[in-house]
């Protein structure tokens, strides 16, 4: 699909209700109001198209940018371009989509953690959400490095910008919930000292999760999974025996006619 065809399709797929929802959450104009179901269908039609993805991202259109993260060839993006996309983030709802669809598929995913040092609210949010995603979706981070992240969160969260604060709270949950031992204990102690993390959620019903509660829930799920009996592999069905081929009935030999002059009759 061309850029023009894609934009026309996005306009056609939009609904007033979804548009209203996006705007309420802070999406910048232009917004068509396309939810993620139709976007996923459109992504299947397009496949991977780096040229189209870059045009969609550059458009600044909310749903076009969502779609750009879906169709870009993330594993082939150089760090310079990935970093430029992060610096182009313009609202909190785009950040998790960018992290999930692009950062996690990039060979530069760990380098994305440098964004946690950014003074930009959206770039900083992307950095901390990348930490959460790497901890919960991959095994790329060393456990021995996690205590330093816990210390940074305790030191920096109180003075961080709104959505960075929210992302740091999520990262604390990810650190504590994905680890155990001293790291988890440190995360729980930090969560207790920080107390309730205040995040302005705007005109929405969204709530900020309690870090202590969520870390303990994640640990409980891990414990339950460890105690669950291992599933026995399903027994393989024996191949059905083939019915033996029926033998064709033997042909009866034709009866021989007795010779007229030599036949002997059996006596009664």
Q: What is the pLDDT of residues 120-157, one digit of tens each?
A: 999 999 999 999 999 999 999 998 899 999 999 999 99
Asked whether residue 267 carries a pLDDT value surpassing 50, the answer given is no
268 confidence band (pLDDT: 50, 70, 90): very low
Dist CA 115 CA 111 (whole Å) = 8
Contact in structure between 128 and 119 (CB atoms under 8 Å): no
Cβ-defined contacts of 212-220 (< 8 Å, 24+): 212/188, 214/173, 214/177, 215/172, 215/173, 215/176, 215/177, 215/184, 215/187, 215/188, 215/191, 216/188, 217/177, 218/173, 218/176, 218/177, 218/178, 219/177, 219/180, 219/184
Q: Look up tokens 């064709």; give the residue.
A: 248
Name the more confident of 3 and 266: 3
Question: Taking the CB of residue 19, how many other CB atoms lie within 10 A of it?
Answer: 20
CA distance 95 to 78: 19
Across 95-107, average pLDDT = 99
pTM: 0.85
Confidence (pLDDT) at 167? 99
Q: What is the pLDDT of residues 189-247, one digit of tens each?
A: 999 999 999 999 999 999 999 999 999 999 999 999 999 887 766 666 666 666 555 55
**Which pLDDT does position 248 carry in this prediction?**
54
């Amino acid at each position: 699909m061309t850029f023009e065809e894609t934009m026309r399709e996005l306009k056609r797929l939009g609904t007033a209700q979804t548009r209203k929802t996006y705007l309420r959450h802070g999406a910048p104009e232009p917004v068509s109001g396309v939810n993620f179901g139709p976007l996923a269908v459109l992504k299947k039609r397009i496949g991977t198209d780096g040229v189209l993805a870059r045009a969609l991202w550059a458009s600044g259109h909310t749903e076009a940018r969502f779609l750009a993260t879906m169709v870009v060839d993330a594993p082939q993006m150089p760090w310079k371009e990935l970093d430029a996309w992060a610096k182009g983030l313009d609202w909190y709802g785009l950040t998790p989509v960018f992290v999930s669809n692009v950062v996690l598929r990039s060979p530069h995913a760990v380098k994305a953690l440098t964004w946690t040092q950014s003074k930009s609210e959206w770039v900083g949010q992307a950095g901390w959400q990348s930490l959460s995603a790497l901890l919960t979706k991959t095994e790329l981070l060393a456990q021995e490095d996690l205590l330093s992240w816990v210390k940074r969160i305790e030191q920096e969260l109180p003075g961080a910008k709104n959505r960075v604060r929210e992302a740091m709270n999520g990262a604390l949950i990810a650190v504590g919930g994905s680890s155990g031992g001293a790291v988890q204990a440190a995360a729980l102690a930090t969560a207790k000292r920080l107390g309730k993390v205040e995040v302005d959620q705007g005109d929405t019903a969204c709530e900020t999760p309690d870090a202590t509660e969520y870390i303990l829930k994640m640990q409980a799920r891990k414990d339950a999974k460890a105690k669950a009996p291992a599933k026995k592999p399903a027994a393989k069905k024996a191949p059905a025996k083939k019915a033996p081929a029926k033998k064709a009935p033997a042909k009866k030999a034709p009866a021989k006619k007795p010779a007229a002059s030599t036949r002997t009759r059996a006596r009664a």
